[in-house]
Amino acid sequence: MSGFASARQKMVDGQVRTSDVTDHRIIDAMLAVPREDFVPESKRALAYLDLDLEVSENAAVKRYLLKPQLTAKLLQAAGIAANDSVLIVGCATGYVVALAARLAARVTGIETDSALVARGQAALAESGIQNVTLKTTELLQGDPENAPYDAIILGGATETTTEILCEQLKEGGRLVGVFATTRPPRAMVVTRSHGDFGTRVLFDAAAPILPGFERVPAFVF
């Protein structure tokens, strides 16, 4: 077993299986997708560590791959079925897109940085993954052109509301992410049902804030 393959196995055994991730499809995807291909060359040795890994070298806005444990738990909470269409908001270099592509029929990833999108497209092509699309756009606007989606996953935390994204869910659709609107921040799932939206807290979690999802400072006298 190669060094990266061994590190991938240890990541799954030590970070994913121990975190109540029981969906074998997610475990199989995380064992199959080479995470090191989605990080800069200088950080490949860090690819399987339990940390939010910055992948935006020399960019104006820092972007990250979320911790493997959190990534797996959000994927599981999204309840992705084989015929689902999925939107990844803040896909960075496309690692979560690659994982979701093994679970769903169609996956779209959006990111603000065109250089990251180009790197992600190259990594996905190298992996032979074809049921995916990456776009450069403002994250808060989502992807209305191809909505509605069965599942939307935030690739980072939000300090603001997500109504625009929620409106892009199908009936029965789920949006999952880390909501830093409370203290402590919590992973939550928002479900669309009969035209309304219900929210359920999943677990305490922390993640870097997505660009455009920062809290608007209140004016103080």
- Give pTM, 2 decimals: 0.95
Segments making up each domain of the chain, as ranges: 3-204
**Cα–Cα distance list, 34 to 38, 106, 120, 138, 139 (Å):** 8, 20, 13, 27, 25
Residue 144: burial class (beta carbons within 10 Å; 0-12, 13-18, 19+): exposed
| Cα 94 to Cα 124: distance, rounded to the nearest angstrom | 7
Return the number of other C-beta atoms located less than 10 Å from residue 13's C-beta: 12
Return the number of other C-beta atoms located less than 10 Å from residue 1's C-beta: 8
pLDDT of residue 177: 98
Return the number of other C-beta atoms located less than 10 Å from residue 183's C-beta: 6
3-class SS at 155?
Answer: strand
User: Looking at domain 3-204, does it have CATH number 3.40.50.150?
Assistant: yes
Q: pLDDT tens track of the chain, all 221 residues?
A: 579 999 999 999 999 999 999 999 999 999 999 999 999 999 999 999 999 999 998 777 899 999 999 999 999 999 999 999 999 999 999 999 999 999 999 999 999 999 999 999 999 999 999 999 999 999 999 999 999 999 999 999 999 989 999 999 999 999 999 999 988 999 999 999 998 999 999 999 999 999 999 987 655 55
pLDDT of residue 1: 58
Contact 91, 108 (CB under 8 A): no
Cα 205 to chain centroid distance, Å, stands at 14
